[in-house]
Copies of this chain bind each other. A is one copy, B any other.
Amino acid sequence: MVIGYQTYLDHIAPWLPGREVVAGAMKQELARGRLALERAMAGARVAVVSGGDAGVYGMAGVILELAAARGLKVAPPGESGPVDLHLEVIPGVPAVTAAGALLGAPLMHDFCAISLSDLLTPWEIIAQRVRAAAAGDFVIALYNPMSKKRHWQLAAVQELLLAAKAPQTPVGIVRRAMRAGEEVILTTLGEMLSHPVDMQTIVIVGNSRSFVYGRYLITPRGYLDKYALPEEAR
């Protein structure tokens, strides 16, 4: 059987006919995870679908947390010996690198991913991570920048970042990467609040060396500092 959030099941609709499918609503991650475990324990072969990479804020952790809390013995497929459950996590293209590809090459140097959702994480921990990311001059990818009920977090992050970074720092905003309705916007840290964002948006804030070239956001790795030909020297 296949279990997933309805939006993600829609993306894989061509592969679903003939299979048992259970669609869940947003915020029902635990219910989906419990159902998957129960059906798998009862002998079914179960696929749980996530958007992007299942291991990045996705269902892989939900399933494993539940299995651990219930004391189930889990092992990879093919493992011999007594186990309650065989489990395989299949990696995918995470939203951060899908967004990065549409922006060009913003993630070519050290980066971090921070979710701005404070439903499960206290805001002070999120704020501490934003400050640390700025202190480390990381490229910063913001997941879940805003939802229907969460409005102030992105402005708070902008304020934290402006304490350490220039307002001209380039920012890329990607909505619905690689899906219908895809939008790609180049802006700056100072101006980034004037563009709409939502739960399907990734915001990528450059490091101190990131720059915009035409339609692209580029974070240099440093090759040309060291090995540029005369015609490539800036």
Q: Which residues of A contact B (CB under 8 A)?
A: 29-30, 34, 53-58, 60-70, 73-76, 89-94, 97-98, 100-102, 104-115, 120-121, 125-126, 128-129, 131-133, 135-138, 178, 211, 213-216, 218-229, 231-234
Whether A223 contacts B93 in the complex (CB less than 8 A), given A55-B101, A108-B60, A132-B138, comes out as no
Q: Does the CB pair A221–B132 fall under 8 Å?
A: no
Rounded to whole angstroms, the CA-CA distance of A191 and B68 in the bound complex is 24
Can you list 12 A-B contacts (CB < 8 A)? A56-B107, A57-B109, A60-B101, A60-B104, A66-B232, A74-B216, A75-B214, A76-B215, A93-B93, A111-B112, A120-B221, A132-B135
Q: Does the CB pair A115–B105 fall under 8 Å?
A: no
Rounded to whole angstroms, the CA-CA distance of A110 and B157 in the bound complex is 15
Rounded to whole angstroms, the CA-CA distance of A223 and B122 in the bound complex is 13
Task: Using CB atoms, name the residue of chain B closest to A228.
Answer: B69
In the complex, which residues of chain B have a beta carbon less than 8 angstroms from the beta carbon of A113?
Answer: 110-112
Q: Does the CB pair A55–B105 fall under 8 Å?
A: yes
Nearest-CB distance from A117 to chain B (Å)? Answer: 10
Q: Does the CB pair A101–B91 fall under 8 Å?
A: yes
In the complex, which residues of chain B have a beta carbon less than 8 angstroms from the beta carbon of A226?
Answer: 120
A55-B107, A60-B104, A133-B138 given; name 12 further pairs at CB < 8 Å: A56-B108, A64-B104, A65-B218, A69-B231, A69-B234, A89-B104, A89-B105, A110-B129, A111-B113, A112-B138, A129-B136, A132-B136
Rounded to whole angstroms, the CA-CA distance of A211 and B61 in the bound complex is 12
- For A55, A120, A138, A231, the residue with the greatest tally of chain B CB atoms inside 10 Å of its CB is A55
